[in-house]
Amino acid sequence: MTPRDGDDVHGRYRYSPWTGGADPLAPPFDVRSALDEVGRDVMAGGSLRESLRELLRRGMDGRRGLDDLAERVRRLREAARRRGDLGGTLDQVRAMLDQALAMERDQLAGEEGDDARLAEMDLATIPDDVAGAVRALGSHEWHSAEAKATYDEIAQMLQREIVGAQFEGMKQALSGNDPEAMQRVKDMLADLNDLLAAHARDEDTTDRFRDFMDKHGDLFPEQPETVDELIDALARRQAAAERLMASLSPEQREQLAQLMADALGDPDLASQMSQLADNLRALRPGLDRRGPVQQGRGGESLGWGEAVDAVAELADLEQLQEQLGQGYFGATLDDVDVERLEQYLGADAATDMEALRQLERELERQGFVTRGDDGLRLTPRAIRRLGETALRRVFQQVDAAGRGDHDDRAAGQADEPTGLTRQWEFGDELPLDTVRTVSNALQRNARARGTGHSTRSEPVSTTSSAHFPTAAGDPAYGTGAVELLVEDFEVAETERRARAAVALCVDMSFSMMQEGRWGPMKQTALALSHLVQTRYRHDALQIIGFNLAARRLTPVELAEAEPEWVQGTNLQHALMLASRHLRRHPDAEPVVLVVTDGEPTAHIETDGRPTFHWPATQATLRATVAQVDELRRSGAQLNVFMLGDDPGLARFVDAVARRAGGRVFTPDIGRLGEYVVADYLRARRGGR
């Protein structure tokens, strides 16, 4: 809605429909369409929770789903893994060491005297490993000033790498080999450890954190806004450094540990760094610090700080991939770090994730899903929506000529009003519509006053007319009385609807899933349930599922039901529960509908336990037929919808239909819902 030109100056506005493109207030997804997509998966035999999860993974309306985002994260993770050699620090130290040794040997070769020869012998005895060589050269009397400078740079480089790996803004501060800069780092570490220790004691560190950032904030380019954000950033890099060390070979790990210990030769610096590591481990114990990183082949040799950055990035991407996978217990879309997702995949990925979150929230807010211990579940409201969709599909197949003629319009005192009225006729026993009757009298009297004629007329019957003077000149004029005549009376039309008790018995054996009949069975049951709930609320519908045993199901339970690897088709138990349902409604038209794809192979023993036999035994057949006879005695019509071409089932249901006076249908699986719904409408009005 936008203000239009020509609005007056008094602050009043006129509004018109938005014409500037897509509605900016429209939700990113059509929630009902999303629910219908879930319904299609459910009707195809899928689990409700899995279907909803798949919708979020797949995305809709042109937006990326979780799977697409996760795949992009996976590709970035692989690229980061192949970025370079994580043990490159050793290579850099060895290169600098070789350069220093080469310059020293050249210098010694040009010198004469015993000192030069002794120095050459000293160089010949240094260890082959990098760490040992660096340590041995610590006491070497250098003859080449350039070689000594190169050697000293090794320690400075390691200091920069170690401290810079922990603090992103430190490398530049330490690059000039300035003693004052190193002292500032030590002061910052002391203040930081005091701050973290106070935070660990649950003290209020708000003011202390603000003072710390005012003093040292330029060393933290991340610019954290709270103590927790600062701890998260530091712990992330510390965990990456420990994972990097765990990823190296034992020999590399040992040499780097020696080099780092030697580089942190300053006792104060070493102590503060050790204390910081202990504080971060205590404050963030859940971070992965031991999991090694699988290194890719090729790539450049990375320094220690660069390698820590690469491992930290890998850790972020691993965490994002896990969050997007939603494969852990209690996972929700709120777990996804949207800021991190935007950092690596861009603003469009963050927008798509927010849209998915909004879809999930809207499904919950509008009452279509609820969250339990086992994740999201569809609610009865959602089931009604799915039933409505299923019924709409069924009615698209039903012949239009067959609709709307299933009501018995014979009138009676306990009937339902239709909302229509008509003029009273002699012999009518319909209820009087008082409002329409009085309204007719008032309109007639008003017309008579307008023409100046009397409204009085002779009543047809002394029992159907009352005289209330209303015209001018009448002695009772002005008293508010109304004269009622025979032609004023109207009665309310009613219609009697036949009431039915319906038992829908659906086969839930695993063969229904194997043959692709599970989805149509669910769709049929939900469509029939929705029809009864919305148009025939006086009817009593009971859904009964059966395999080895039978059980009563609500529409929600049926929709959530998943195939079970259970052998057995216990039609006898299903008909037993159907009989109990019909007995609870003795005044209703009894209707029993059976959907199955196999002959009975199970029944209930006298001790109440189900028993299964294949092929079907005489005991199972006799028990099932006994229940058929009980239904016949109650006057119920038993119609069987036979799926598949099992010869044994065909013979059995044909015999049952003849015995019970019912019928057998062999619908194409795609028209099962049409057959069942149409037969219910026929049976509930007494059609045999």
3-state helix/strand/coil string of 443-494: HHHHHHHHHCCCCCCCCCCCCCCECCCCCCCCCCCCCCCCCECHHHCEEEEE
Distance of CA 447 to the CA centre of its chain: 66
Q: Which residue has the higher pLDDT, 673 or 8?
A: 673
Q: What is the CATH number of the domain that holds 583?
A: 3.40.50.410
Residue 401 has pLDDT above 50, yes or no: no
Residues 490 and 582 in one domain: no
Residues 565 and 657 in one domain: yes
Among the three residues 275, 292, 309, which one is the final residue of a domain in this structure?
292
What pLDDT score was predicted for residue 373? 67
What pLDDT score was predicted for residue 579? 92
| Residue 403, domain member (yes or no) | no
Q: How confident is the model at residue 544 (pLDDT cuts 50, 70, 90)?
A: very high
Among the three residues 495, 528, 547, which one is the final residue of a domain in this structure?
495
What pLDDT score was predicted for residue 297? 53
Pair of tokens at residue 595? 């959907």
Q: Which residue has the higher pLDDT, 546 or 47?
A: 546
Residues 149 and 261 in one domain: yes
Instruction: Convert the pLDDT of each residue in 291-345 to its tens digit.
Output: 666 655 555 556 666 666 677 777 778 788 888 887 777 677 778 888 888 888 8
What pLDDT score was predicted for residue 10? 55
Rounded mean pLDDT of 598-624?
Answer: 86
| Residue 231, domain member (yes or no) | yes
Rounded mean pLDDT of 363-391?
Answer: 76
Residue 164 has pLDDT above 90, yes or no: no
Q: Write down how long the chain is.
A: 688
Residues 449 and 521 in one domain: no
Q: Which residue has the higher pLDDT, 671 or 506?
A: 506
Interatomic CA distance for residues 293 and 309, integer angstroms: 13
What pLDDT score was predicted for residue 367? 81
| Residue 351, domain member (yes or no) | no
Residue 170 has pLDDT above 60, yes or no: no
What pLDDT score was predicted for residue 670? 74
Number of independent structural domains in the chain = 3
- What range defines the domain where residue 633 resides? 500-684
Residue 413's SS3 state is: coil
Instruction: Convert the pLDDT of each residue in 106-134 to its tens digit.
Output: 888 888 888 888 888 888 888 776 767 77
Residues 482 and 619 in one domain: no
| Residue 677, domain member (yes or no) | yes
Residues 491 and 505 in one domain: no
Residues 528 and 542 in one domain: yes
Residues 510 and 623 in one domain: yes
Of 428-437, 456-465, 511-520, 523-532, minimum mean pLDDT range: 456-465
Among the three residues 292, 325, 348, which one is the final residue of a domain in this structure?
292
> Which of 316, 318, 358 has the alpha carbon at shortest distance from 339?
316
| Residue 191, domain member (yes or no) | yes
- Other CB atoms within a 10 A radius of the CB of residue 670 amount to 9
Residues 602 and 575 in one domain: yes
| Residue 266, domain member (yes or no) | yes
Q: According to the per-residue pLDDT averaged within each range, which of 16-30, 34-48, 103-117, 189-203 is highest?
A: 189-203
Q: How confident is the model at residue 61 (pLDDT cuts 50, 70, 90)?
A: low
Handedness of CA 235, 237, 238, 242 (dihedral sign): positive
For the chain, give the mean pLDDT: 75
What pLDDT score was predicted for residue 581? 92
Residues 264 and 171 in one domain: yes
Pair of tokens at residue 563? 């195939």
Interatomic CA distance for residues 154 and 177, integer angstroms: 12
Cβ atoms of residues 601 and 569 within 8 Å: yes
Rounded mean pLDDT of 7-18?
Answer: 62
> Which of 603, 505, 511 has the alpha carbon at shortest distance from 558?
505
> Which of 680, 403, 526 has the alpha carbon at shortest distance from 36?
526
Interatomic CA distance for residues 688 and 686, integer angstroms: 6
What pLDDT score was predicted for residue 682? 75
| Residue 39, domain member (yes or no) | no
Query: What Å distances lie between residue 393 and 368, 389, 674, CA to CA?
Result: 21, 6, 9
Residues 144 and 283 in one domain: yes
Residue 52's SS3 state is: helix
| Residue 42, domain member (yes or no) | no
Residues 455 and 599 in one domain: no
Rounded mean pLDDT of 448-459?
Answer: 57
Instruction: Convert the pLDDT of each residue in 573-601 to its tens digit.
Output: 999 999 999 999 888 888 888 888 878 88
